[in-house]
Amino acid sequence: MTAGPQGTRAMQVEGIPASPGYAEGPLFDLDQPPASYKPKASTEEERAALVNAIGTAVGRLTALVETADGDAAGILEFHIAMLEDDALSGPALAAIGSGQPADAAWRAALDSEIAGYEASDQDYFRARAADLRDIRDQVLRALSEEGEAEAPPGAILYGEDIAPTRFLETDWNKGGGIALKRGSTASHVAMLARSRGVPMVVGLSAPAGPLSSDALLDAERGAIVFSPSPAEVEAFRQSAASFADRQGAARTFLTEPAVTKTGTAVRVQVNIAYPSDVDGIDVATCDGVGLMRTEFLFGKALPDEETQYRAYRKVLEWAGDKPVTIRTVDAGGDKPVPGFTVEETNPFLGLRGIRLSLKRRDIFGVQIRALLRAAIHGNLKVMFPMIATHDEYAQAAALFAEEQSALAAEGVAHKLPPLGIMVEVPSVALAPEDFADVAFLSIGSNDLTQYVMAAARDNAAVAHLNSVRHPAVLRLIASVAAFGQKKGVPVSLCGDAGGDPTTIPALLEAGLRDLSVAPAQLAMAKAAIADVSV
């Protein structure tokens, strides 16, 4: 601790960076108590009040969808679908029937749902608790007919967690950031913050600073300073200026192909999760889609063939003749899909990815048909996640051949795309020689690192061990790259490490020349590549 202004004590609290950047400004308390509700005269009126409040919340979200883009619209539509789901309102309406006022009934029903999500040992489900809290508060606000307190421009929004709608309604053009005591780097807001460049830190577990003070949010390192001293402000501004300079310089690289200092070309593709992600990307700035995750399409319900076909076709048409690598569903682990994944004590080592798809051929068959049909609309490549043995690849490839024959017999237009695999299970990275017959290899450094280091990717307590730059992980990456080179099998990397400027030199030195990164990281990744001499 150091001395702050007016005799206050500066206090620094460490957290986990969820979206890089710097913000300096007043703190805004996200945890202000909601406005009070005026009970109605009869059960009927209470019921009508709740139904109307849900309608008001849906109306408000629908209006927001119209101005939202890509992933933001997807999140809002997810909220609307949840609000319109009787399973959510049913218990509250029943409680009103037994004499509770609408606000208490709704709060209790939602709190019990939220508790279920929060108790999950899976990061994905815990992250969805924030969505449910958002929905709860939207309806409570509509019930009390009072607006939400507005944060001053440039404020650092500070609290337990933040609602996605609060994020979307905030004008980030004026600066500001997000500092959460809980939160998750896998939450919807974290995703939005990364794609909009809003600084965000989660997991600030130490006690709150004085909420009346100004604060410094360093979301590059993951820390907040309450009541900073002049020296801290000075040092912070220098770091913020250096970050802005690096970003500004990086933008000039965006429209150019990536090359190293010594002129070696490096392909840089993008990772996407929703088909609408491509709406915000200029196709000229990347070399294609290196990874389209399909788990999110599976969201709440299993998508039918037509829904999947349209989603894949949209991305293929956007990319033109550039490659689009779509990964078959990697459900399980940190990405559970209700109605598909199974409850397991250790989901990272259980039935996830290709293991589950091969068990549920009914569901896998639908995805394969959609992919085969979409393939005629562009330069599609398909890859299988979590391959551990060659037999799994062979089985999956055989299912493609089977569905292809079925489509041919039905006279449905289709095409067999090249089939490759993710290298994210150590068995494949250690013994790639079994896989000389696949069309391509794509290294999943997120999973490869967690399995090599035995450090879960979503556990902050072992984050210091989960390092792709550990020699054991880098050695494996280098040996896979060398194998690909020798056998003429293209090798790329689509884990988060590919977009990390501090890891890029090591990846290129390991022999990789093909990276796939989050769209918001394209510019910084290309700039980092230009600084490497390989």
The binding site for Mg(2+) consists of: 424, 447
Contacts (CB under 6 A) with ligand PEP, residues 406-425: 424
Q: What is the DSSP letter of 290?
A: E
Beta bridge partners of 10: 2
What whole-number distance in Å separates Cα of residue 453 and Cα of residue 476? Answer: 12
What whole-number distance in Å separates Cα of residue 285 and Cα of residue 87? Answer: 44
**Dihedral (Cα; 471, 350, 367, 421), 10-degree rounding:** 30
Residue 444 interacting with ligand PEP (CB under 6 A): yes
User: Which of Mg ion, ligand PEP, none sits in contact with 494, Cβ below 5 to 8 A by type?
Assistant: ligand PEP
User: Is residue 445 a contact partner of residue 477, using CB atoms and an 8 Å limit?
Assistant: yes
| Marked catalytic residue, from 188, 377, 390, 414 | 188
User: For Mg ion, what does the binding mask look like between residues 440 and 459, x meaning CB under 5 A?
Assistant: ----x--x------------
Which of 88-96, 215-223, 366-374, 445-453 is the region at the interface with ligand PEP (rule: CB under 6 A)?
445-453
Q: Three-state DSSP class for 302?
A: coil
Which of 45-53, 77-85, 401-409, 439-447 is the region at the interface with ligand PEP (rule: CB under 6 A)?
439-447
**378/444 with CB nearer ligand PEP:** 444
| Marked catalytic residue, from 79, 286, 377, 494 | 494
Which of 69-77, 298-306, 342-350, 441-449 is the region at the interface with ligand PEP (rule: CB under 6 A)?
441-449
Residue 325 interacting with ligand PEP (CB under 6 A): no
User: For ligand PEP, what does the binding mask look like between residues 206 and 235, x meaning CB under 6 A?
Assistant: ------------------------------
DSSP one-letter string for 39-59: --SSHHHHHHHHHHHHHHHHH
Residue 334 interacting with Mg ion (CB under 5 A): no
Q: Nearest 5 degrees, angle CA 470-CA 475-CA 478?
A: 125
Q: Is 188 a catalytic residue?
A: yes
Instruction: Single out the residue of 130, 168, 494, 527 in contact with ligand PEP (rule: CB under 6 A).
Output: 494
Instruction: Single out the residue of 330, 392, 403, 514 in contact with ligand PEP (rule: CB under 6 A).
Output: 330
Residue 290 interacting with ligand PEP (CB under 6 A): no
Annotated binding site for phosphoenolpyruvate: 293, 327, 446-447, 457
What whole-number distance in Å separates Cα of residue 209 and Cα of residue 218? Answer: 15
User: Is residue 113 a contact partner of residue 132, using CB atoms and an 8 Å limit?
Assistant: yes
CB count in 10 Å sphere of residue 263 = 7
Residue 446 interacting with ligand PEP (CB under 6 A): yes
Contacts within 8 Å (CB) and 24+ apart, 165-170: 165/60, 165/61, 165/64, 165/76, 165/79, 165/134, 165/138, 166/30, 166/134, 167/192, 167/193, 167/198, 168/64, 168/68, 168/72, 168/76, 168/192, 169/64
Q: Nearest 5 degrees, angle CA 169-CA 173-CA 174?
A: 100
Which amino acid, 308? Q
Q: Three-state DSSP class for 17?
A: strand
Which of 136-144, 150-158, 361-369, 440-448 is the region at the interface with ligand PEP (rule: CB under 6 A)?
440-448
Q: Nearest 5 degrees, angle CA 370-CA 372-CA 376?
A: 110
User: At its nearest, how many Å lie between ligand PEP and the CB of residue 469?
Assistant: 15
Residue 341 interacting with ligand PEP (CB under 6 A): no
**153/350 with CB nearer Mg ion:** 350
Instruction: Single out the residue of 323, 378, 484, 495 in contact with ligand PEP (rule: CB under 6 A).
Output: 495
Contacts (CB under 5 A) with Mg ion, residues 403-432: 424
Which chain residues interact with ligand PEP by CB under 6 A? Answer: 291, 293, 330, 424, 444-447, 494-495
Q: Give the residue numbers marked as catalytic.
A: 188, 494
